[in-house]
Structure 1
Amino acid sequence: MPLNQDEKKEVLADTGFISEKIKQRPINRKKLLRRTAITFFLAIVFGIVACFTFLFLQPVFSDRLYPEAEPEPISFPEEEVQDELTPEEMFADEFQIAEVEAQYLEANQKDQIDEAIASYAFSASDYSKMMYSLKSVAQSVGTSIVTVTAVSNDTNWFSESFESSGSASGVIIANNGSSYFIVVPSSAISEAESIKVTFVDGSMANAELKLADDVTGLSVISVSRSDLTENTRNKVTTSFLGSSNNGTMTGLPVIAVGSPIGIQGSISYGIITSEKTTLNLEDSYYKLLTTDIYGSTLGSGVLANLNGQVIGIIDMSYNTEDLENHICAIGITELKTLFEDLSNGRARAYMGIHGTTIPADILEQQNIPAGAYITKTELGSPAMQAGIQSGDIITAIDGVEVSSYEQFISKLAQCSPDDIITVAVKRQAPNDYIELDIEVTLSSATHN
C-alpha cells in the first residue's frame, strides 16, 4: 500500500510555542466624524438636487404624458332679434287678453272678485315685500360683481416711496374652468403696477390684464381659479348677459349694482328713460341706455333687469351736462363681440371712421347709394391716411357688399390689425357719384 505523502517527508517542526493574538485597530474618532459629516452633507445635496430636478421636470413629463386640454375660447350666444310690436299688434293682443279675462271673470263670479279687490287695502308691508324682492335680485347680481383695485408705487417730495390705489366695480362675464374674466373700466387700471380683485366674500386675488379697448375704454382682466379657495369659488357666480335690444325697453325698471353712487356695494333702483341713442365712437355702433337713477359721476358697475340679467355696463362719461349725475350705461348687446375678443386675447382692428346708415326713404328720394355713410374720420387714423373723407359712402369691403353702417362694422370686426383691406367708396361729384377703390392698412384698437 503506498505511503501517504506526509509520511514520505520528514517530521514537521513543533509549532506549539507559537501563539497569535488579534488586536483591534484603534478608532480614529475625528476621521469617523468627518466622514459621517461628509456623508450627511452629500445626502442633503443629493436630496436638494433630486427635489429641484423633480420640480423642474415633473411639469414637463406631466404635460407630455398627461396633456391638459386647452380651455375653450370665450363665446356668448347670439341674440335672436325681436322686432318691436306695431300698434295694431299691441291693440290686437290687448283685445284678445281682455276677451279671455272677461270670459274667465264671468265664469268665476266677477262681482265677488271685484268686491274682494276693492276691499283690499295695500299696506307698508306690501311695499316692503316688493322692495325686498328687488333687493334679492340685486344681491343675486352682486355675487358676480367684484372690486378691482389698481396699486402703484409713488414717491413723495422727500423721496419716500409709498403705495397709492384706486378702485372701481367690475363684473365677471365668463369662466372657462381655469380663469374668471372680468370687465372693468380701463381708467381704473391704466397706471397700475399690480391689479387686485376683491370678490363677494371679501377674498382677494391678483389679476392680469388680457386686453384693453381704446374705443370704449373697457378692459378685460383675468383671475386664475386656482388662486381662490373652494369656498370662494362656490360663492362667486358668472353674470348672465341679457339683451339691450329686446323690443322697447324705455320705461322698464332696472337695478344699478356695483358702485352707482361711488361707494362699493351700493344699489339703486329706477327705470330706463331712453335706449336709442347711438354713441359717436369710431368703428362702432354701441347704444347708450339712460336712466332716472341719480348717482355719482364716478359711478361704475352694471345695469340689470328684474330677472337679474346684465343689460348694460355703467359708464358716466357720455352724460350730457344737464344730466351728468344720471346713471347711463353702454348696452350689452353690442358689447358681447368685444368681450369675446378681449377675453380671448384677440386684438381688434382700427380704421378710425364715424358713420351711420341712411334711412331707406331718403336713399330713394335723393338717389343716394346704399352703404356706410361716413360722417367723420379721426385725425391721423388709417382711414384718413388712406384718403377716406366725410361724405364718402362705403359700399364694399374686400369685394363683399355692405348696405349699411352696421354691416360694415360687422365685417371690420372680422379683420385684424395690420391687415390691408380694399374699400369700395362712392364719392359725390358735381353730377353723380364716382367709384373709388381705396386700400387701407388697419392698426390696432386694443393694447395690453
Structure 2
Amino acid sequence: MEEDSRPKEEQNTGDETSGESGEYSFLQEVIKDENGRWRALKKRWIRLVGWGLVFGIAASLGFAWTNRLSSSRIKEVTIPKEEEAPGQEEPQELDSESYLQMQQALGEVAKEAGRSVVEIRILTSKEDWTEQTAQTHSITGIVVADNGREILIWGKTMAAAEGASLQAVFSDGSKRSVTLKQKDDGLGMGIYAVETSRLKSSTMKQLKVAVLGSSNFIQLGEPVLALGSPLGDGQSLGVGGIMSKDNRVSRVDGSYGILQTDIAAGEEGSGVLVNLKGEIVGVIDQSVASTDSALVAGYGISDLKRTMELLSNGQGIPYLGICGLEVTEEIQEQGVPRGIYMKEVMPGSPTMAAGLQNGDILTGIGTEKVTTLTEYRNCLLKLNAGEKVRLKGLRQGAEGYVDIEFEVTVGKQE
C-alpha cells in the first residue's frame, strides 16, 4: 500500500506542484501582458496624438499658404458683352398713388446704384493752422471690378500737383488712399485702384460692382437718374430723361456716343447716368455737352466697355494716332472715297512714323475693312502694343486717288 501510495503521493504532490506553479505562472503571465498592453496602448496613443499634431500643423500651413496664394492671385476682369435690344414695355396709366410709388422706386434705385459710386478726391498738404489738408478737386467714379486684390474704379483722370495725394470716399463714408492704375489720355479717363486688404469688412459688404447697361438701345425720353456730383459741388441727385442719343464726339483713334439729358448740371459736374433697372448707361462728362449747356451730358457706356476691360487688366490702350472723320454719302458725292478721312495724323504717332499723312483715306486694318470710326475703334482694340499691322488706304494724287499700304507698329496710349 505504501509502495503503491508513495508514488501516488509523490505523483499527486508533483501534480499539485506543477499545477500550482502553472497557476502562478499563468497569473504572472496575465499581469505581465496587462502591463505591456497598457504601455503599448499608451505609446500608440502618444504616437497618434503626435501624428495628429503633425497633420494638423501641416494642414494649417497648407490652408494658410493656399489662402495666401488665392488672395494674391489677380482675377482677370471681363466686362459682359451687350445683349440684344430689349422689347418695349406697354405704357401704364398713372394716378397720384402711382406717382408716389414711382418716387419711392426711384429712391430705391438711387440707393442701390449708389453703392457703386465712389468719390475720388485730390488732397494737398497745407501749412495753415486751421487744417492740415484741404480738398482741391474731386470727381465721381464707379466700381467696375474686384480682381481679388484690388477694387477697381472707373473715372475721369485728374491732374494732381506735386505732393498731392488721391483719396477714395466710399458710399459708407470710409476713406482710403487710391492710386491711378491705368489711363487713356485720349479719352481722359482711367482706372483707380484700392487694395482690398486696406478696406474694412463693413465697407466690402456695402460696396457693389456696378451693373453696366447699354447706351446703344436707350430710347429718347427714357427716364434716367444722375448720381454722384452732377452739379459739380458735393453729392447730388438729378432725375430726368434722355433728350439726345445720336450725337458723337471724335477723339484720337475713335469716336464716342454722347447722351444728353434735361437734368440740371454744373460746369464741373461728374457722375453716372442710371436707368430704372439700376444699370449704368452713361458716364457724366460736361466737356462733351453742347456749347454753353447747363444740362447733364456724358459718354454712352457701350463705347467705354472695352477700354474699361483693357485698363482693368493692366493693359495699355492700342494707339495709332489718327484723328479721323467718317466719309458720309454726302461727302462721297464730292468725289471723296468711302473710308476714314485722316483729318490729323498725330505728331510722333506710329501712323506718322509709318508714312501716312493728313488727307489720306483709311480703308482697312489688316484683313478687315473700315468705313466708320466705330469699326476703326473695334479693329484697333483687338490689336496689341508692339504688334505689326498693315494699314490700307487711298491718297490723292495728280490724277485722282491711288492705293497706298503701310506697315505700322502699334503703339500704346500713355
TM-score (norm 2): 0.75
Q: Does 1:138 align with 2:110?
A: yes
Residue 382 (structure 1) shift = 3.4
Residue 61 (structure 1) shift = 12
Given the superposition, is the C-alpha separation of residues 287 and 307 from structure 1 closer, same or farther in structure 2, using an over 3 Å criterion? same
Q: How does 1:75-224 map to 2 (within 5 A)?
A: 75-82=78-85, 122-123=95-96, 126-153=98-125, 163-165=133-135, 166-187=137-158, 193-224=164-195
**2:77 aligns to what?**
74
SS of 1:410's partner is helix
Deviations 1:178-198 (A, max 9, x none): 321101210265767432211
Given the superposition, is the C-alpha separation of residues 66 and 146 from structure 1 closer, same or farther in structure 2, using an over 3 Å criterion? closer
What is the number of residues matched between the two proteins?
352
Q: How does 1:1-400 map to 2 (within 5 A)?
A: 67-68=69-70, 70-82=73-85, 122-123=95-96, 126-153=98-125, 163-165=133-135, 166-187=137-158, 193-246=164-217, 249-323=219-293, 325-359=294-328, 369-400=337-368
Deviations 1:104-139 (A, max 9, x none): xxxxxxxxxxxxx9xx9x44x543332222121111
Q: Bigger CA drift: 253-262 or 412-421?
A: 412-421
Question: Would the aligned equivalents of 2:390 and 2:406 in 1 still touch at CA under 8 Å?
Answer: yes
Separation (CA, whole Å) in 2 of partners of 1:59 and 1:352:
52
SS of 2:296's partner is strand
Separation (CA, whole Å) in 2 of partners of 1:290 and 1:379:
33
Residue 386 (structure 1) shift = 3.6
Given the superposition, is the C-alpha separation of residues 294 and 238 from structure 1 closer, same or farther in structure 2, using an over 3 Å criterion? same
Question: Would the aligned equivalents of 2:391 and 2:405 in 1 still touch at CA under 8 Å?
Answer: yes
**Structure 1: 5+ residue stretches without partners:** 1-57, 86-92, 99-116
The one of 374, 384, 394 equivalent to 1:406 is 374
Separation (CA, whole Å) in 2 of partners of 1:195 and 1:215:
21
Aligned-residue Cα RMSD (Å) equals: 3.5
Given the superposition, is the C-alpha separation of residues 214 and 154 from structure 1 closer, same or farther in structure 2, using an over 3 Å criterion? farther
Deviations 1:7-55 (A, max 9, x none): xxxxxxxxxxxxxxxxxxxxxxxxxxxxxxxxxxxxxxxxxxxxxxxxx
Separation (CA, whole Å) in 2 of partners of 1:153 and 1:177:
32
**2:413 aligns to what?**
445
Separation (CA, whole Å) in 2 of partners of 1:155 and 1:430:
67
Residue 78 (structure 1) shift = 1.4
SS of 1:72's partner is coil
Residue 444 (structure 1) shift = 2.7
SS of 1:415's partner is coil
**2:42 aligns to what?**
none
Residue 283 (structure 1) shift = 0.4
SS of 2:100's partner is helix
Q: Name the aligned partner's letter for residue 278 of structure 1.
A: R
Deviations 1:130-181 (A, max 9, x none): 222212111111111111122234678xxxx964433221111112233211
Residue 369 (structure 1) shift = 4.6
SS of 1:293's partner is strand
Given the superposition, is the C-alpha separation of residues 366 and 332 from structure 1 closer, same or farther in structure 2, using an over 3 Å criterion? same
**Structure 2: 5+ residue stretches without partners:** 1-59
Separation (CA, whole Å) in 2 of partners of 1:277 and 1:321:
13
Q: Name the aligned partner's letter for residue 279 of structure 1.
A: V
Q: Name the aligned partner's letter for residue 132 of structure 1.
A: Q
Separation (CA, whole Å) in 2 of partners of 1:151 and 1:405:
38
Q: Bigger CA drift: 269-278 or 181-190?
A: 181-190
Separation (CA, whole Å) in 2 of partners of 1:60 and 1:193:
42
SS of 2:304's partner is helix
Q: Name the aligned partner's letter for residue 201 of structure 2.
A: E
Question: Would the aligned equivalents of 1:357 and 1:406 in 2 still touch at CA under 8 Å?
Answer: no
Separation (CA, whole Å) in 1 of partners of 2:325 and 2:299:
18
Deviations 1:50-91 (A, max 9, x none): xxxxxxxx99997699743723211112113549x9xxxxxx
Q: Bigger CA drift: 125-134 or 176-185?
A: 125-134
Residue 307 (structure 1) shift = 0.8
Given the superposition, is the C-alpha separation of residues 143 and 189 from structure 1 closer, same or farther in structure 2, using an over 3 Å criterion? farther
Residue 262 (structure 1) shift = 1.9
Separation (CA, whole Å) in 1 of partners of 2:161 and 2:64:
38
Residue 213 (structure 1) shift = 1.1
Residue 294 (structure 1) shift = 1.0
SS of 2:228's partner is strand
Question: Would the aligned equivalents of 2:322 and 2:342 in 1 still touch at CA under 8 Å?
Answer: yes
Separation (CA, whole Å) in 1 of partners of 2:234 and 2:201:
24
Question: Would the aligned equivalents of 1:180 and 1:223 in 2 still touch at CA under 8 Å?
Answer: yes
Q: Bigger CA drift: 204-213 or 234-243?
A: 204-213
Separation (CA, whole Å) in 2 of partners of 1:251 and 1:389:
42
Question: Would the aligned equivalents of 1:168 and 1:188 in 2 still touch at CA under 8 Å?
Answer: no
**2:18 aligns to what?**
none
Separation (CA, whole Å) in 1 of partners of 2:277 and 2:118:
20
Q: Name the aligned partner's letter for residue 230 of structure 1.
A: S
Given the superposition, is the C-alpha separation of residues 433 and 242 from structure 1 closer, same or farther in structure 2, using an over 3 Å criterion? same
Separation (CA, whole Å) in 1 of partners of 2:61 and 2:351:
48
Q: Name the aligned partner's letter for residue 373 of structure 1.
A: Y
SS of 2:384's partner is coil
Separation (CA, whole Å) in 1 of partners of 2:144 and 2:66:
32
